[in-house]
Structure 1
Amino acid sequence: MPIPPLDLDAIQARADAATPGPWRATDDDDTWRMHGTHPRIPGMKWQILKAPKANTPYAEYWPSPADAEFIVQARQDVPALLARVQELETELHRERAAHSSTIDERDRAAHYADRLAAALAPIDVRGEHSIGNCPWMAALNYADESTPDGGPQ
């Protein structure tokens, strides 16, 4: 199943709008908390989330320690992944451009090789391009056989 395209700009905008990191998850006897860095005061702890552990119907919905770790690490992971995707997309663009250039050069070379082969030998000698036949080699062999010493003219 193909992966749907990502809206990297929207992901970046959400990451930029979120509370600055790093994030931390903490808990005590009564409460779970998640903190980031204050958006306007660097280094100051900023509470993102607070949930009671008991005496509410929602206490059981706090994430497991592994899920809490995943959430807090996402603050650093998402921007790092976005940067890596951008780097790979830039590299892919360069490779596609180079590949396209290589294909164009190959096609031009094949065109000129076909013209040279046509100048050296008639079509019934060259034949067509196929798995078993290379018209370029056939034309070169014909040219070699056409010279008095069997070598280049």
Structure 2
Amino acid sequence: MFDARTEEIRARHEAATPEPWGTGYDGAGTYTIEARPRFVPGSGEASVHDGIVATLTGEHCDGQTYCNADFIARARGDVPYLLDRITKLEAVLDRVGGLAAWLKEFAENELRADDRELYTAIANDLRACLAIEDTRTQQSAATKES
């Protein structure tokens, strides 16, 4: 299954600074999203990192700015997890679609008439479930484009 928006997200993910990301705070309302933050004993710094990915400025003790910084930092790990889940779920949908096609063919060619109706109905139900999900995906994509 190919979904252009998912592929665009995957491309942005692959182009971004490698993970992990973390947050830093200056004590005055500015949060930084840092690449590979870590504590190095004896470095003279509270922590070191491989660069600042983004800076968010708010008010001192501004909970919203902290939540935004935390969301951005965690997105670097969350996005690949979600992309992997999409890939796995699409594989399941493809497999179910293949089984529905096989079941319908089996029902048409190998079964008695009364069994044929039952298996054909099951195959049609499976296809209907897949079509509903495909319609939802298309509707979601159309909504986001408008």
Q: TM-score range by the shorter chain?
A: 0.5 to 0.7
Contact 1:19 1:37 in 2 (8 A): no
TM-score under structure 1 normalisation? Answer: 0.54
Deviation at 1:44, TM superposition (A): 5.0
Letter in 1 for 2:12: R
* Alignment RMSD: 3.1
Deviation at 1:62, TM superposition (A): 9.2
Deviation at 1:86, TM superposition (A): 0.4
Letter in 2 for 1:49: A
Distance 1:72 1:32 in 2: 11
Q: How many residue pairs align between the two structures?
A: 101
Aligned pair 1:48/2:53, yes or no?
yes
Letter in 1 for 2:15: A
Number of the residue aligned with 1:134:
none
Indicate the percent of aligned positions where both proteins have the same amino acid: 26
Indicate the structure with greater helix content. 2
Number of the residue aligned with 1:97:
98
Distance 1:9 1:15 in 2: 10
Number of the residue aligned with 2:13:
15
Letter in 2 for 1:74: A
The structure showing larger relative contact order (alpha-carbon pairs under 8 Å, at least 6 residues apart) is: 2
Contact 1:29 1:53 in 2 (8 A): no
Secondary structure of the structure 1 residue equivalent to 2:51: strand
Contact 2:19 2:77 in 1 (8 A): yes
Equivalent of 2:26, from 19, 28, 40? Answer: 28
**Structure 1: stretches of 5+ with no match in the other structure:** 115-128, 130-153
Contact 1:32 1:62 in 2 (8 A): no
Deviation at 1:6, TM superposition (A): 5.8
From the superposition, tell whether residues 62 and 10 of structure 1 become closer, same or farther in structure 2 (CA, over 3 Å). farther
Deviation at 1:52, TM superposition (A): 5.0
Contact 2:22 2:36 in 1 (8 A): no
Letter in 2 for 1:96: G
TM-score under structure 2 normalisation? Answer: 0.57
Secondary structure of the structure 1 residue equivalent to 2:76: helix
**Structure 2: stretches of 5+ with no match in the other structure:** 38-47, 118-146
Contact 1:21 1:37 in 2 (8 A): yes
Number of the residue aligned with 1:143:
none
Secondary structure of the structure 1 residue equivalent to 2:31: strand
From the superposition, tell whether residues 52 and 92 of structure 1 become closer, same or farther in structure 2 (CA, over 3 Å). closer
Letter in 2 for 1:66: C
